[in-house]
C-alpha cells in the first residue's frame, strides 16, 4: 500500500460503514460503488458469499461483509450498497451498509491492529487510522477475498 502513497505520506480511502463501524478501502482498489439489485444465492457456497449478480454484463461475486466480520445480519429491508473490486481479473462486490466520503489520510495517524482485536476482524484489517472523532479500520482487500483460506484456517 505504501507505494501508492503520495509524497506527503497521505493516502486516499473510500469510507464505508458496516454495522456502525467506519471502514476504509484504498481508493485505487475500488472500481465502483453500486446498489446491488437481484443477487442470486449460490447453494453450497461459503456462508460469507451472498451470491452472484449481473453488473453491466459481468458476473460479480457478492460478499456479505457483515457475515465476513461475524457481526449480526442487517435488518430486513435495510438498503444495502456494494463496493466493486477487481482482483485477479475477477469481479467482486463487497456488500456493506453505506458508503461515505473519500478521505485523504495522513500515514502518521496510522497504526497496526490493536492486539485485542477480534480474530475475525484482525484477519481482514490492515490497520487503523485515528480520526478526530472515530477510528477507521482499513480493509485489506486481498485478505477479505481469501474466504476459502480463512475458513480452513
Partner 1 sequence: MDDLLSEFLTETVESLDVVDVELVKFEKDPNNQDILGNIFRLVHTIKGTCGFLGLPRLEALAHAGETLMGKYRDGAPVTTDGVTIILKSLDAIKDILAELAENEVEPQGNDDGLIAQLHVLSEGKTLDDANGVAASAPAKVEEAAAPVSDDGERDDSSAIKIVERELKPGEVTLDDLEAAFNSAPGPEDEAEAAAEPEAAAAPEPAAPKAADEGNLKRDKALQPQSIRVNVDTLEQLMTMVSELVLTRNQLLEILRRQDDNEFKVPLQRLSNVTAELQEGVMKTRMQPIGNAWQKLPRIIRDLSNDLDKKIDLEMIGAETELDRQVLEMIKDPLTHMVRNSADHGLETTAERIKAGKSEVGKVKLSAYHEGGHIIIEISDDGRGLNTPKIKEKILKNKLATPDELSKMTENQIHKFVFAAGFSTADVVTSVSGRGVGMDVVRTNIELIGGNVDLVSITGKGSTFKIKIPLTLAIVSALIVGIDDHRYAIPQLAVVELVRAHGDSEHRIEKINNSRVLRLRNKLLPLVRLSDILELETPAPVIEEDEDGNVIPIDTSLDENGFIVVIQVGPQTFGIVVDKVYDTEEIVVKPKSSLLRNIDMFSGNTILGDGSVIMIIDPNGMASQISNDVGSDSTEDEENEQSDKDKFANQTTSLLLFKAGTDEPKAVPLSLVTRLEEISVSDIEPSAGRDLVQYRGQLMPLLYMEGHEKMKESGRQPVLVFSDDDRSMGLVVDEILDIIDTNLNIEINVPQPGVLGSALIRGQATEIMDVGYYLPQAFDDWFERREQGESFRQKRLLLVDDSAFFRNMLSPVLSAAGYDVVTAIDPIEALKLLRDDPSLFDIVVSDIEMPNMDGFEFAETLNRDDKLKQLPIVALSSHISPGAIERGREVGFYDYVAKFDREGLVTALKETLETEGEAA
State the nearest-atom distance from the C-beta of 45 to partner 1, in Å: 6
Residue 145: how many CB atoms within 10 A of its CB? Answer: 21
With CB under 8 A as the contact rule, the residue among 54, 73, 111, 112 that binds partner 1 is 54
Cα 70–34–133 angle (5° rounding)?
60
- In order, the DSSP letters of 71-99 are PPPPPTT---EEEEEEETTEEEEEEESEE
42 binds partner 1, rule: CB under 8 A: yes
With CB under 8 A as the contact rule, the residue among 6, 7, 76, 88 that binds partner 1 is 88
**Applying CB under 8 A, which part among 38-46, 76-84, 94-102, 111-119 lies near partner 1?**
38-46
Residue 107: how many CB atoms within 10 A of its CB? Answer: 14
85 binds partner 1, rule: CB under 8 A: no
Task: For the segment 104-133, give every residue that binds partner 1 (CB under 8 A).
Answer: none
Amino acid at each position: 500500500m505504501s507505494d501508492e502513497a503520495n509524497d506527503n505520506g497521505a493516502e486516499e480511502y473510500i469510507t464505508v460503514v458496516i454495522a456502525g463501524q467506519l471502514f476504509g478501502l484504498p481508493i485505487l482498489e475500488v472500481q465502483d460503488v453500486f446498489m446491488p439489485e437481484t443477487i442470486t444465492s449460490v447453494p453450497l457456497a461459503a456462508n460469507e458469499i451472498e451470491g452472484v449478480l449481473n453488473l453491466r454484463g459481468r458476473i460479480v461475486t457478492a460478499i456479505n461483509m457483515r457475515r465476513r466480520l461475524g457481526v449480526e445480519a442487517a435488518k430486513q429491508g435495510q438498503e444495502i450498497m456494494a463496493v466493486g473490486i477487481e482482483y485477479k481479473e475477477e469481479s467482486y462486490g463487497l456488500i456493506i451498509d453505506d458508503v461515505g466520503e473519500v478521505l485523504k489520510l495522513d500515514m502518521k495517524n496510522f497504526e497496526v491492529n490493536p492486539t485485542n482485536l477480534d480474530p475475525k476482524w484482525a484477519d481482514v484489517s490492515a490497520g487503523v487510522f485515528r480520526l478526530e472523532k472515530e477510528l477507521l479500520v482499513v480493509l485489506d482487500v486481498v485478505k477479505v477475498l481469501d474466504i476459502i483460506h480463512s475458513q480452513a484456517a
